Structure formats: structure tokens, C-alpha cells
Amino acid sequence: MLQSVFGYPDFRGEQEEIVTHLIGGGDCLVLMPTGGGKSLCFQIPALVRDGTAIIVSPLIALMQDQVQALLQLGVKAAFLNSSLDSQAAYATEQDLLRGRLDLLYVAPERLLTPRFMNLLEQSSLALFAIDEAHCVSQWGHDFRPEYRALSILCESFPAVPRIALTATADSPTRREIVERLGLASSRQFISSFDRPNIRYRITAKRNARQQLLDFLAGHRDDAGIVYCLSRKKVEETAAFLAAHGFRALPYHAGLDSATRSKNQQRFLREESIVMVATIAFGMGIDKPNVRFVAHLDLPKSIEGYYQETGRAGRDGLPAEAWLAYGLGDVVTLRRMVDESEAGEQRKRLERQKLDALLGFCESIRCRRHSLLGYFGECT
């Protein structure tokens, strides 16, 4: 099936062991770097086991892209999200009830509705896959409250195997995933966090725009992402790069959904587009030939930095991660933490994560070794 359906000659890393464990009915937590082939770990068992696999995914664009790719391979896949009108949603629900689907992608807030839980109880289920599982952690960089209620899957469907997957989770986040999702008896598969094809460069911020131009001079015809901390800076930087001959597009939550969607599709389908974005852009973006990720401002944590830089070089070819940081960034991020409405415990943890990131930036050690050490990986 790996070859006949998906076209791959061999499994990579621990994929085969994960697939075998899930087919056998076991639960598992999978930590695998971006581009490591996480999706295959549940897609193959979904085709082997009887029933429909329910894939919990946090982003509409991500589930739509994955379903489209599966349909092109001849796999019976569908999604349920707010982009469907009531007639299309009803048709998909009927396909689930009648066993016509191999995989159904659904957002967590949809899955948790009484209507959908009732549909699941009447359906034949192959497995549950919880993608981007780090969203369950309130201490993580991308917390989504609805993910914490997914423990209901363990309680309501104890005989259906579950797999939780993420590319980024330090030890405290892993412990919380296991606790919140009821995966205490699951097997954990933790791949290396190393992305050997990415070169990490960190520089002190002096004239940030000129430094960015100097870096981009070596990537004139490449696709890449430039991250900024604020929407205003995204707009200004995109205009600045466009004025210097780059095909730069803005992306942030303040843009209307049609503009965001159009810019995202251009980035995915065209060559040499530079997406200038806040962290609203990124999760689930699967463009293999991104040659660089640049940070014009400090990210909020090492996990965020790893997740964002991991969008480069998914094709395995050389890529660069470039970051310019200055004292002003640290002051801004500390003020954002202090002024947030989070509880004191969360603020304390966010300050610790920021301190760890600053230590990473200032370290004279090899950046790769420092990064892997943060995630508990010996080098």
C-alpha cells in the first residue's frame, strides 16, 4: 500500500513501527519533525483497518489541502468544517454513516458537538488521529482550548485506537499531551528534532531592513517566509520588499479572509513568492521548496522558533533560517507578557521561555546543538 497508493518505495525512520502499532489497535504519541512524514502514520492504518478514520485538524486550509491530495491518489476522503454549506455537510455526514469514507477530517469544535458525537456512535470507526497535538497544552506556543476536551474520545470510544501527532513539544508539553488526551498507556515515538539541511544564522539587529535585504540577496529567486511581530510591521515590510523588486505578499489575521486565502494560494502555487507574515501564517503550510525563513523580530519561544523555521527545506535540500534580534525585541515581548490577561503561573512560564530563547540567541555554542539540547536530545 505504501507503494501502490502513496508511491513511496520505503518507510522512513519509525514510520513502519508506528503504522504496525496503530493497525494492531495500539495508541501512540508521535513526535516527528516537520517534513518527516507524520500523515502517513495514520493514513495507511486508515486504509487497512475497517471503518472510517477521524482526523482532528485545527485548520480549514490544512484539512482541505490534505483531502485534495488524498482524492488525487484515489483515497475516499472528505472534510467537515465551516466552509461547507448545510447541504454539503449533510451529504458528508451521510457518507460517514454509510461507511463510504476512508478518512474524515474535522475541526475539534465540530467534533465536540452533540450532533457529531451522535454520528460517531452510529458509525464504524477505524481510528482517531489528533494532529498538531501540542495545541492541547496551555503552556505551549499554540494553545487551543477546544483541544483539551478531546479526552472525551478516550472516554466514549475506548476500543478505538488513537494517535496524537506533533512536530514540536518539549518535555512538559509531552507530559500534558499524554495527561489531557488520556494516553498514559500509549507508546511514544520520538524522532530526532535535527533538521540537518537547515543552516541557522542569528545576528544582532542594527539596521534590520538593510540586514534583511543583504540576507535576501542570496535568495532573489527563492520562495521564503519573513516573520514579523506586528500586523503593521508585516504591511510595512511587504511594501518595502516589493519596492526592492521582491514578489512579497502580506499575511496576518487583520486581513479579510479572501485576501489571506488568495495570498496563501499564490505562495503555495507560484515560485519566488516571499510571504511576510505574523505567526498567524504557518501551521499546516506544506510547500516543500521554501528555501528560507527569516525572523525580523524575536519569536516568543524556542518551540515557536523551531516550528516556524521548520517550514523551510521540507524537500530535504539546503535551506536557511535567519534571525535578527535586539534589546528592543526583548523589551516588547516582556511588556506583552506583563500586560496580557493570563494568570501569573502562565506569565512566569512565558518569561522563562523568553529567557531561554534569549540565551539561545546569545549562546556561542553551535545553534543546532543548543536547539536540540533544549528539546532534551543529546548531541
Instruction: Of 76, 40, 61, give the one whose Cα is nearest residue 163.
Output: 40
Residue 48 covered by a domain? yes
Query: How many other β-carbons are positioned within 10 Å of the β-carbon of residue 188?
Result: 13
Reduce the DSSP state of residue 320 to 3 states and report it: strand
Give the CA distances from residue 60 to residues 230, 257, 366, in Å, rounded to whole numbers and listed in that order: 23, 12, 38
**Are 166 and 228 contained in the same domain?**
no
Residue 7 covered by a domain? no
Give the CA distances from residue 329 to residues 168, 304, 317, 323, 333, in Å, rounded to whole numbers and listed in that order: 23, 15, 31, 12, 6
CA 220, 221, 225: angle at the middle one, nearest 5? 80
* pTM assigned to the model: 0.80
Residue 1 covered by a domain? no
**Are 107 and 211 contained in the same domain?**
no
**Are 311 and 208 contained in the same domain?**
yes
Residue 3 covered by a domain? no
Residue 376's Cβ-side half-sphere holds a number of Cα atoms within 13 Å equal to 10
**Are 162 and 242 contained in the same domain?**
no
Instruction: Of 301, 307, 306, 297, give the one whose Cα is nearest residue 276.
Output: 297
Query: What would the DSSP string read from start to end of 69-104?
Result: HHHHTT--EEEESTTS-HHHHHHHHHHHHTT--SEE
Q: What is the pLDDT of residue 140?
A: 58
Query: How many other β-carbons are positioned within 10 Å of the β-carbon of residue 237?
Result: 24
Q: What is the pLDDT of residue 98?
A: 96
Residue 346 covered by a domain? yes
**Are 361 and 215 contained in the same domain?**
yes
Sheet strands side by side (includes 273-277)? 198-204, 319-325, 290-295, 223-227, 273-277, 247-251
Q: What is the pLDDT of residue 379?
A: 60
**Are 206 and 180 contained in the same domain?**
no
User: Would you say 308 and 175 are in contact if contact means Cβ atoms under 8 Å apart?
Assistant: no
d(CA 320, CA 333): 24
Weakly modelled stretches of the chain, pLDDT under 50: none
d(CA 379, CA 358): 21
Instruction: Of 71, 70, 66, 69, give the one whose Cα is nearest residue 81.
Output: 66
Residue 281 covered by a domain? yes
CA 200, 242, 219: angle at the middle one, nearest 5? 30
Over the Cα atoms of the chain, what is R_g?
21
**Are 174 and 50 contained in the same domain?**
yes
**Are 155 and 240 contained in the same domain?**
no
| CATH number reported for the structural domain that contains residue 208 in this entry | 3.40.50.300
**How many structural domains comprise the chain?**
2
Q: Is 43 exposed, middle or buried (0-12, 13-18, 19+ CB in 10 A)?
A: buried
Residue 53 domain boundaries: 15-190
**Are 230 and 137 contained in the same domain?**
no
Which of 190, 213, 231 corresponds to the end of one domain? Answer: 190
Residue 352 covered by a domain? yes
**Are 227 and 367 contained in the same domain?**
yes
* Alpha helix segments (H runs only) across 106-256: 108-111, 114-121, 152-156, 171-180, 208-216, 231-243
Which of 132, 160, 190 corresponds to the end of one domain? Answer: 190
**Are 163 and 216 contained in the same domain?**
no
User: Would you say 68 and 265 are in contact if contact means Cβ atoms under 8 Å apart?
Assistant: no
Residue 342 covered by a domain? yes
**Are 218 and 318 contained in the same domain?**
yes
Which of 138, 168, 190 corresponds to the end of one domain? Answer: 190
